[in-house]
Structure 1
Amino acid sequence: MADLYRTALQARFAKAPQLPPLPGEDEEEDESGDSIGSLPTGMGPPAAYHTPNPAFTPISASGYFEQAIQVSVPQSDLDVRVYYTPPKFEDGTVIVCHHGAGYSGLTFACMAKEITDMSKGECGVLSYDARGHGKTKHLRSEGGSTEENLDIDVLTADLVNLVQAVFTDSQAAPSLLFVGHSLGGSVCVRACPALQQSRYRITGVAVVDIVEEFTLEALPLMHSLLNARPEGFDSQEQAIEWHVKTNTIHNPASARVSVPGIIVPAPEGSPPSTPAYLWRTPLRSTAPYWTSWFTGLSSKFLSARTARLLILAGTERLDRELMIGQMQGKFQLVVIPGVGHMVHEDDPTRMAEVLVEFWRRNERVVVGVKKVGEL
């Protein structure tokens, strides 16, 4: 969301109900995805048709996660698409990632590979498509088209229910470290207390590039920012190129994995002027939820009963509540230079370094040494 306020203001899957890896996962490029920021970002001129540029050919996600599976979560009436690389050791940690609005679980693909490599397999990574995004679908198909309920409490319950479906025994489950980008940060912060009540061990929570006060101030401009986006694209390559050329995603390699998952082929029978690919998630329809997504985020983050990490792009300001919390040593702040709102895509190596260091400090803590944020 940093681009928004720059513009506006300046081990495994415990025995969970799941399907085996889907056939054709080496064609994962048809779904890699991420486009706008937690709220709509990425301004630029409409995309004009041109021959697809082979430099922006989609890349399969199969080289970044070990598994791409569907997990049945009856409590949420969802069949959730999950991307997962389990830890290689019994006492490993799973880093659970929640994307921002309009993105998909594949936005964390490059970062996930870096984390598993840097931690030498001690950390696994689980990233998933939230409801209304990516390949997550409802278990019960209802007739007619209904708008998805993206209320913050619903999204939070989805995350809690998914963790409980995947790691059915909280006592035998690995320790969990939550990483949420933008809207995902708000969901992760809210999910932690519920999971701790169910006796899951939470190593920490990391919120990526979202500050409550400045985000809420930017919301009135969201519709005009959406108007600046093209309606769609004539090819996946064109969509990837647009994201890179407009600096929505700075890293072409990550864009080639993630962008195809946030667009879908235009429906049959569409008018001839309709682009071949349209946005998968209609962000304009999520406007009623925007304020609730971010209201109260700072206080909930600071009150989380676990180690806390805030990662920002550039030198964005903290709001008053976070500034006081930082002075009191309640959380660790890391600013990554040279990136945009898609911090984890723009510089997945640095993001992985920050998260692995945070994990080591708080999971492999020496007796007598306090975790980040402990007073």
Structure 2
Amino acid sequence: MSDLYRTAIQARFAKAPQLPPLPGEDEEEDEGGDSVGSLPTGMGPPAAPFRTPRTTRKNAPNPSYSPISASSFFEQAMQVSVPESDLDFRVYYTAPKFEDGTVMICHHGAGYSGLSFACTAKEVTDMSKGECGVLSYDCRGHGKTKHISSPNISEQENLDVEVLTSDFVNLIRVVFPDVEKAPSLLLVGHSLGGSVCVRACPILQQHKYRITGVAVIDVVEEFTLEALPLMHSLLNARPDGFDSPEEAIEWHVTTHTIRNPTSARVSVPGIIVPAPDGSPASAPAYVWRTPLRSTAPYWTSWFTGLSSKFLASRTARLLILAGTERLDKELMIGQMQGKFQLVVIPNVGHMVHEDDPTRMAETLVEFWRRNERVVVGVKKVGEL
């Protein structure tokens, strides 16, 4: 029965190519023009701008930081056509083994990709013994998600939070079109992704999807909004690009932007691309796939109202933070009233799910078990 169920779920996707090649392989050669940005936190300590001409660089790639394929972490990588959003989404997916399983729907932070959840996804499916599947995708303007109408044209994306929320809902409705047969969903979002998940939750519930809970990773409205004015100075400290994917991975690890080398080796190659044809010799060989500055008009809207929307979610709520004393007033009151579960994971940075995927998976699986397998008379997290 479980094999038939998994086959039926997988057949709902529009296309199912092999897992994507790493940057530098044939598929990546035409992707140099992609654009959009990263989020205001978790960039690591400042680094000097990268201005060494390509022709004079001597550093050979460090094999300790060589890229790792995503095939060890997800069962499938595929493109899912969503005409309503005019997008062909890149989706990474491991289906639950059982018909009554749950699927965690993961939305990455701005500037990253669905592969930022790769290590956590593998841990979740292992810990839940396949009862909980994971779907992670590249949102609009990120990774390998492309426009259907103009797949090879670089254009300024509309990254308004309402547009991203609509994309999220549209994708779910294409992947799981039959609400009665759809698995229960646990929405998991990092930073900007958390804001999208919180907004998408009531819309999906209006469409009669079963939402087990919503988990927000390392974003608090008040402190994030306060940090936004510092963004441009932080951007000035980031490298313009890198000699190789290995150098990009090494930079993320040595600056503690991502503290887990294994996760960085999976996720970082997806956030850089070869420099466009015709770039000057002084340009780096690889550049950011999603330049941050172009997203500046959207920064404030991404997070304004997040705390109140999170507390108003009509489902179990989980907030995972990378440090203590980071709740704003609204969340502090909500926590005292028992409206959500708070978990603080020590010794990690902003990329909590990459830095400690084992602890992240333990937290998510425990939250899922508590709220999906509810015993009669036991309240879900957030129920008064």
Q: Which of 140, 150, 153 matches 2:159?
A: 150
CA change 1:73–1:328 in 2 (3 A) is same
Deviation at 1:36, TM superposition (A): 8.3
Q: How many residues align?
A: 360
CA change 1:255–1:323 in 2 (3 A) is same
Equivalent in the alignment of 1:21: 17
Residue 89 of structure 2 aligns to a residue whose secondary structure is: strand
**Superimposed CA distance per residue, residues 315-363 of structure 1 (whole angstroms, 9 cap, x where no aligned partner):** 1420000000000000000000000000000000000000000000000
Equivalent in the alignment of 2:31: none
Q: In 2, Cα distance between the equivalents of 1:366 and 1:55?
A: 47
Q: Which of 132, 135, 143 matches 1:123?
A: 132
**Superimposed CA distance per residue, residues 214-261 of structure 1 (whole angstroms, 9 cap, x where no aligned partner):** 000010010111111000001000000000000000000000000000
Check the 8 A contact 1:82/1:126 in 2, yes or no.
yes
Q: Which of 40, 46, 49 matches 1:46?
A: 49
Residue 334 of structure 1 aligns to a residue whose secondary structure is: strand
CA change 1:17–1:90 in 2 (3 A) is closer
Residue type of the alignment partner of 1:279: W
Q: In 1, Cα distance between the equivalents of 2:65 and 2:10?
A: 37
Q: In 1, Cα distance between the equivalents of 2:20 and 2:163?
A: 32
Q: Which of 52, 69, 72 matches 2:81?
A: 72
CA change 1:26–1:71 in 2 (3 A) is closer
Q: In 2, Cα distance between the equivalents of 1:337 and 1:246?
A: 18
Q: CA RMSD in A?
A: 1.7
Check the 8 A contact 2:23/2:272 in 1, yes or no.
no
Q: In 2, Cα distance between the equivalents of 1:296 and 1:38?
A: 17
CA change 1:28–1:171 in 2 (3 A) is farther
Matched, 1:167 2:176: yes
Q: In 2, Cα distance between the equivalents of 1:74 and 1:120?
A: 34
Q: In 2, Cα distance between the equivalents of 1:130 and 1:311?
A: 21
Residue type of the alignment partner of 2:40: L
Q: In 1, Cα distance between the equivalents of 2:352 and 2:150?
A: 36
Residue type of the alignment partner of 1:214: F
Residue type of the alignment partner of 1:320: K
CA change 1:51–1:15 in 2 (3 A) is closer
Deviation at 1:211, TM superposition (A): 0.2
Deviation at 1:39, TM superposition (A): 2.8
Matched, 1:261 2:270: yes
Equivalent in the alignment of 1:216: 225
Deviation at 1:142, TM superposition (A): 7.6
Give identity over the alignment, percent. 76
Equivalent in the alignment of 1:5: none
Residue 181 of structure 2 aligns to a residue whose secondary structure is: coil
Equivalent in the alignment of 1:300: 309
Check the 8 A contact 1:313/1:340 in 2, yes or no.
yes
Q: In 2, Cα distance between the equivalents of 1:45 and 1:28?
A: 26
CA change 1:163–1:143 in 2 (3 A) is closer
CA change 1:342–1:152 in 2 (3 A) is same
Residue 27 of structure 1 aligns to a residue whose secondary structure is: coil
**Superimposed CA distance per residue, residues 8-52 of structure 1 (whole angstroms, 9 cap, x where no aligned partner):** xxx643653410233xx2734668xxx986336233233565221
Q: In 2, Cα distance between the equivalents of 1:236 and 1:59?
A: 11
Q: Scaled by the length of structure 1, what TM-score is found?
A: 0.93
**Superimposed CA distance per residue, residues 90-122 of structure 1 (whole angstroms, 9 cap, x where no aligned partner):** 100000000000000000000000000000000
**Superimposed CA distance per residue, residues 49-98 of structure 1 (whole angstroms, 9 cap, x where no aligned partner):** 52211100000000000000000001100000000000000100000000
Q: In 1, Cα distance between the equivalents of 2:323 and 2:330?
A: 20
Check the 8 A contact 2:38/2:290 in 1, yes or no.
no
**Superimposed CA distance per residue, residues 166-189 of structure 1 (whole angstroms, 9 cap, x where no aligned partner):** 000111100000100000000000
CA change 1:29–1:64 in 2 (3 A) is farther
Check the 8 A contact 2:102/2:183 in 1, yes or no.
yes
Residue 212 of structure 2 aligns to a residue whose secondary structure is: strand
CA change 1:56–1:126 in 2 (3 A) is same
Residue type of the alignment partner of 1:135: K
Q: In 1, Cα distance between the equivalents of 2:70 and 2:338?
A: 38
Q: In 1, Cα distance between the equivalents of 2:10 and 2:241?
A: 40
Q: In 1, Cα distance between the equivalents of 2:133 and 2:154?
A: 37
Check the 8 A contact 1:19/1:71 in 2, yes or no.
yes
Matched, 1:359 2:368: yes
Residue type of the alignment partner of 2:232: H
Check the 8 A contact 1:196/1:202 in 2, yes or no.
yes
Q: In 2, Cα distance between the equivalents of 1:185 and 1:45?
A: 31
Q: In 2, Cα distance between the equivalents of 1:264 and 1:277?
A: 5
Q: In 2, Cα distance between the equivalents of 1:18 and 1:317?
A: 42
Q: In 2, Cα distance between the equivalents of 1:177 and 1:161?
A: 16
Q: Which runs of 4+ in 1 moved over 6 A?
A: none
Q: Which of 250, 254, 259 matches 1:241?
A: 250
